[in-house]
Structure 1
Amino acid sequence: MNSGARLSAAIEILDVIEIQRRPAADALKEWGTAHRYAGSKDRAAIGSLVYDSLRVKSSAAHVMGSDATRAVLLGALRELRGMDLDAVAALCTGEGYAPTPLTDGERERYASGSLDGAPDHVRGDYPEWLAGSFAAAFGDGAVEEGRALARRAPVDLRANRLKVDRDKAMRSLAHLRPEAAGHARDGIRIAVGEDGRAPALAAEPAYVKGFVEVQDEGSQVAALLSGAKPGMQVLDLCAGSGGKTLALASMMENKGQIFATDLDGRRLMPIYDRLARAGVRNVQVRAPKGRQTALGDLQGRFDVVFVDAPCTGTGTWRRNPDAKWRLRPGALEERIKEQDEILATAVSCVKPGGRLVYVTCSVLREENEDRLAKLVEAHPGLLPLDAGHMARDAGLPDLAGCASPHGPGLRLTPLRCGTDGFGIATLLVQ
């Protein structure tokens, strides 16, 4: 496929996403199945065009004066990729499978369209219904924070110290030009290509052998801030597919015990293969039975209870740009309810003198500082640690600069800290 045909394919897929409200990954997979002639490079390039368009959907539409998928794609080529008008016009020839030539109106908007005077949610590329929440979280910085969440994310890995140290892991990936992460001591960062294409890690020997795990640096930092140590009893209450469980096991050197559970047992299914590949031996997986939790005999037992709570995922928009446009106000209300219920369960599992670690991949105050304030009000025996204390305890003093301005704990964002968006707080149980 030539570059023009790739543009047409991306527009077709964006139409499916818009009309059917399909997740982008599903729409791309379906298109690839129906168009077997498209090679892996074609599919990767088309996927990158689709995701880039979704990253800046709002600002691109404003610049081009239309929210049609063709206009959004053209606006993304300007706003995110910086392509000049002549280069885009050369792709839109109408010949073969290329898009039809640019109209006079499209040329004019591409050349002179502006975001001057546009609302913050348009310039920052986040949903209008979240404008108040972004203003509450970031104040005058809402637009820049939103724009940072709309940029491509690098590939972040964690060296698995149960098998190798970071230096050895990086040597095994030298052909991918890895760099040490800025905060997490086992973190490795690989830049994506200019076309947004990431390396095929599943085919890398270092991944197959369990030397590295895919994990955003912010997620690695959350595990490091937990204070988990060898010999402790730890509960990963919302373990999902096990990313933070594996990080905790590495920190604990396979000593002590980790119980991994999740309210949705289906999310736990990948954890078994991941534990085996990583060489983890101190994890007991507790799947729920129907609607019943698997925690009946675990009350008041743990040194650390780690809660990676279900949330809106606003902090992950760099990696899941379509999710922000599918998110609806009711989802925030539902997540808040779940978070309060999970935190109440978590408190009952921490032993006196233990720690409750609350983490979300959200940048919203409603899911972070507001939830902590409500929890502490209901449980006066909980003592939140300030960000400086948390950072020093973890041996990561520079992280104190990522302290939340709205309460105890840290607030990580791509703009401030170079990670996905996270809220991280630690509370001592007295």
Structure 2
Amino acid sequence: MTPAARLQAAAEILDEVIAAARDDGPPADAVVTRYFKTRRYAGSGDRRAVRELVFRAIRRSAEIPADGRAAMLGLADDDPELGALFGEVRGPEARTDGERGADATIVPQWLESEFSPLVATAEWPALLERAPLDLRVNAARAKRDDLLDNFPGAEPTPLSPWGLRLPADGRLDDHPAITGGLAEVQDEGSQLIALACTPRDGDLLVDLCAGAGGKALALAAAAPGARILATDSNRARLSKLGPRAARAGATIDTLLLNPPNELEALAEWHNASDLVLVDAPCSGSGTWRRNPDGRWRLTPERLERLLAAQARLLHLGAALVKPGGRLVYAVCSLLTREGAGQAAAFLDRHSSWVFEETPIRAGRSDGVGRLLTPAHDATDGFFVARLVRP
């Protein structure tokens, strides 16, 4: 493909990404993959170059562009070499007089007032930097120092005792340490959420929104003698945990939930759990480094639905905690209403509950919890709070 053809391909892909964002369709990565499945003529260099253009354009604009052409014109405003490709053979049509490109912004304007006061505007550029590739060493089967030599260029993560950090854009799916269950890909911030739970052997633990089970696996590695139940309402995501647990040598029970009948399905765990982790669905504003098109998907209406779901899940999780047990609430969000505000509202509704300090060497105090941010901690953004039932 010529450089002009690559630019045109990126514009076409962005048309699909924009449509998917508006219609709650597949994420940008999946759209790029699907596009090239039907275009076998594109070599690996072409695919890398086009993908780079697509994600440069997504990172550049917080507001959803009118179309892929507008997104590419925005890039051309910053890069005259790209601008020269408009009008070339197999490239986008020539730019017309006065034709505007998408504006360069970091945070959608409507969302600016929602951010935690800790996330000052000086921190915003870090929200879109390339994220490193972090691994979590399976502490039940290996020591971090013993695995360092298996990953050239890896360094111990500074905050998690289980983590290794590699440069961005690495691919390790077929690495023997991964396939052998000695390590898993997991951002250091996500590892710290599991660390904040302080799981103990003999505990009864519930991971209420387990998804594919990353944090449940971390809990199992930290406390192999705990009984862990991982639940979710998404069958496809939860089904991935079984093979991952077998690979890691972990014993984790799973339960598919059917909202709004979760409490009936979890009757055995009522007032019985030492720990309930509520890693709730959220805006994902803490993961824009990895999913920059998430800014295009979030709307005020969607945020309100997420806030209601988080409050409901906290209420559900609280019913499972035994006296003296703890509820750990986490969201990969930097928004006050999803983090500190949600935890404070829970304590207002449950006046006998108290909070305790979150035992991790990271983040900054934010209300009753702690907030991790890309700029301050070099992790994905997370809010985490520990709530205790007397």
Same fold (TM over 0.5): yes
Aligned to 1:28: 32
* Match in the other structure for 1:274: 244
Q: Comparing 323-332 with 216-225, which one deviates more in the overlay?
A: 323-332
Contact kept? 2:63, 2:108, Cα under 8 Å: no
Structure 1 residues 362 and 217, CA, compared in 2 at 3 Å: closer, same or farther? same
In the TM superposition, residue 416 of structure 1 has moved relative to its aligned partner by 1.3
Deviation at 1:50, TM superposition (A): 1.0
Match of 1:127 in 2: 108
SS of residue matched to 1:366? coil
Question: 1:427 maps to what in 2?
Answer: 387
Please provide the CA RMSD for this pair. 2.7
Amino acid at match of 2:155: E
The Cα offsets for residues 263-315 of structure 1, whole Å up to 9 and x where unpaired, read as 3333311111111111112x111222575323111111111111101111111
Establish whether residue 354 from structure 1 lines up as the match of residue 329 from structure 2: no
Distance verdict in 2 for CA 1:171–1:97, change over 3 Å: farther
Structure 1 contact 233–302 (Cα < 8 Å) conserved: yes
Structure 2: gaps of 5 or more residues = none
1:29-58 CA distances to partner (integer Å, 9 max, x unpaired)?
A: 231122111233432332232122111114
Contact persistence 1:89–1:101 (CA under 8 A): no
CA separation in 2, counterparts of 1:55 and 1:280? 38
2:231 equivalent among 261, 273, 279: 261
**CA separation in 1, counterparts of 2:86 and 2:11?**
15
**1:143 and 2:121 equivalent?**
yes
What secondary structure is seen at the aligned counterpart in 1 of 2:90?
A: coil
Which amino acid is 1:37 matched to? Y
The 1:124–1:209 alpha-carbon spacing in structure 2 relative to 1, beyond 3 Å, is: same
CA contact (8 A) 1:124 1:146 kept: no
Q: How does 1:33-52 map to 2 (within 5 A)?
A: 33-52=37-56
Residues 123 and 143, structure 1, Cα contact 8 Å, conserved in 2 = no
Take 1:123 and 1:48, find their aligned partners in 2: how far apart are those partners? 17
Contact 1:360 1:367 in 2 (8 A): yes
Judging changes above 3 Å, is the alpha-carbon distance between structure 1 residues 100 and 205 closer, same or farther for their aligned structure 2 residues? farther
1:290-305 alignment, distance < 5 Å? 291-293=260-262, 294-305=265-276
The residue correspondences of 1:143-182 to structure 2 (distance < 5 A) are: 143-174=121-152, 177-182=153-158
1:367 match: secondary structure: coil
Cα gap change, 1:172/1:149 in structure 2, threshold over 3 Å: closer, same or farther? same
2:13 matched residue in structure 1: 13
**Partner of residue 118, structure 1:** none
In structure 1, the residue matched to 2:364 is 403
SS in 1 for 2:56: helix
**Which residue of the partner structure matches residue 217 of structure 1?**
188
How much has 1:95 moved relative to structure 2? 4.5
TM-score norm. by structure 2 comes to: 0.89
Instruction: Give TM-score, length-normalised by structure 1.
Output: 0.81
Range 225-234 or range 355-364, more displaced: 225-234
Residue from 282, 285, 305 that aligns with 2:254: 285
Q: Percent identity?
A: 39
Question: 1:333-360, CA deviations, whole angstroms, 9 ceiling, x for partnerless residues?
Answer: 1111111111111111111221110000
Once the two structures are TM-superposed, the CA of residue 403 in structure 1 deviates from its matched residue by 2.0
Q: CA 1:2–1:165 in structure 2 vs 1: closer, same or farther (change >3 Å)? A: farther
Q: Partner residue of 1:119?
A: none
After the TM superposition, which of the residue ranges 24-33 and 285-294 deviates more from structure 2? 285-294
Q: Give the Cα separation in 2 of the matches to 1:53 and 1:415.
A: 22
1:116 equivalent in structure 2: none
Aligned length: 384
Structure-2 separation of matches of 1:68 and 1:350:
49
The change in CA–CA distance for 1:162 and 1:35 in structure 2 (over 3 A counts) is: same
Q: 1:40 to 1:256 in 2, by over 3 A?
A: same
